[in-house]
């Protein structure tokens, strides 16, 4: 049995907006996905962006076998109490014997909490599919990427990325949009693995976000108009569910790395396997 703490990165307003749009909050999605990968998990969700939330104390964090941080629509350089509370909470985690996984926002919070820097990407927003992510030399031998091909695509949505690495970090993958697509950070007894993309998202989930980012995508020149946004979102949803939709899969260059859930979730599967091994090793050494 593994105890997992899931840390939601979004404020309540954004979580409610996701639910109103017919989707789910990212922490609920994370819990669902982790339970898909393993049926012996005890998951607890916390909301550090909320002012009135009650969080585990620093020493309690080490009682969890793993901590998973979700994505968020926040920008870490736009400092606010909701952002500062999350950075402080990550610092607490990095100060204990913890094993943390972060998707997108989770990676950014860890990088800043550990002394690195995150900024808006001068190349613009990476959304939909992150293309040709290449595993670095250090990443090829890292357990995060066990079983992963040397280059792959992944579902993503982010404007921000790491521009200065924190101490104790290793870059595990990157692509032409962001040199840091995955990272390991070691601080004291803590170990953080993070990815800039979203293995927990499927095409239908990112389609929902594309619809909710309608105006942003038009303003940034990624889409021409609302009809363009809707076609993109609808095509991705169809490709997700229509096993015969080969034309769309070819049009959008969609391979098994995003369509097959086992391939897409491999990083999370590898993290859970690492948690199990660490728990076994700890029990053996007692």
pLDDT digits (tens, 9 = 90+) for 86-104: 999 999 999 999 999 999 9
Cα–Cα distance between 191 and 124 in angstroms, integer? 30
Q: How confident is the model at residue 259 (pLDDT cuts 50, 70, 90)?
A: very high
Return the pLDDT at 207.
Answer: 96
Place of tokens 């021409």: 224
Tell me how long the chain is: 286
CB 118 within 8 A of CB 79: no
Cα–Cα distance between 139 and 173 in angstroms, integer? 6
Q: Kindly state the percentage of the chain with pLDDT values over 90.
A: 90
**Domain extent listing, the chain:** 2-200+265-285, 203-251
Q: What CATH number matches the domain at 2-200+265-285, 3.40.50.880, 3.20.20.70, 3.30.230.70, 3.40.980.10?
A: 3.40.50.880
Residues 6+ apart with CB under 8 A from 243: none
Give the residue-averaged pLDDT of 212-233: 96
């Amino acid at each position: 049995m593994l105890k997992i703490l899931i840390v939601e990165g979004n404020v309540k307003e954004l979580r409610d907006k996701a639910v109103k749009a017919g989707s789910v909050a990212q922490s609920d999605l994370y819990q669902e996905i982790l339970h898909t990968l393993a049926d012996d998990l005890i998951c607890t969700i916390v909301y550090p962006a909320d002012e009135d939330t009650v969080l585990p104390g620093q020493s309690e964090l080490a009682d969890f076998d793993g901590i998973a941080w979700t994505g968020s629509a926040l920008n870490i350089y736009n400092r606010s109490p909701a952002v500062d509370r999350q950075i402080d909470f990550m610092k607490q985690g990095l100060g204990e014997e913890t094993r943390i996984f972060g998707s997108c926002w989770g990676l950014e919070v860890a990088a800043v909490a550990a002394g690195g820097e995150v900024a808006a990407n001068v190349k613009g927003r990476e959304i939909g599919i992150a293309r040709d992510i290449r595993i670095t030399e250090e990443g090829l031998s890292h357990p995060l990427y066990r079983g992963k091909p040397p280059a792959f695509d992944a579902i993503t949505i982010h404007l921000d990325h790491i521009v200065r690495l924190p101490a104790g970090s290793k870059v595990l993958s990157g692509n032409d949009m962001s040199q840091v697509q995955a990272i390991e950070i070691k601080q004291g007894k803590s170990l953080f693995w993070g990815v800039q993309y979203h293995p927990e998202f499927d095409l239908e989930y990112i389609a929902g976000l594309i619809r909710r980012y309608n105006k942003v995508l038009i303003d940034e020149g990624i889409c021409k108009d609302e009809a363009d946004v809707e076609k993109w979102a609808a095509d991705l949803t169809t490709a997700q569910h229509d096993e015969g939709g080969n034309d769309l899969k070819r049009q959008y260059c969609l391979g098994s790395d995003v369509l097959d859930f086992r391939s897409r979730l491999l990083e999370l599967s590898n993290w859970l396997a690492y948690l199990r091994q660490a728990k076994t090793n700890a029990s053996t050494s007692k």
